[in-house]
Amino acid sequence: MLETKSLKEKWELLVEKLTHQFADGDQLNMDGIIYLVGVQELGQGHRTFKKDEKVNLMHIAICKLLEPYGYYEFDFFDDDGWPHYKSLTELPNLKPGEQTVLMKESILHYFEERSYLK
Q: Give the pLDDT confidence of 54-67 residue by residue, as tens digits.
A: 999 999 999 999 99
The reply to whether 21 falls in a domain is no
What pLDDT does 1 receive?
42
The reply to whether 41 falls in a domain is yes
> Counting Cβ atoms within 10 Å, is residue 63 exposed (0-12), middle (13-18) or buried (19+)?
buried
Global pTM value: 0.91
The reply to whether 118 falls in a domain is no
The reply to whether 16 falls in a domain is no
Domain boundaries, position 37 = 28-113
The reply to whether 23 falls in a domain is no
Give the total number of structural domains in the chain. 1
Q: Give the pLDDT confidence of 78-91 residue by residue, as tens digits.
A: 999 999 999 999 98
The reply to whether 11 falls in a domain is no
β-strand pairing of 83-87 with 72-77 = antiparallel
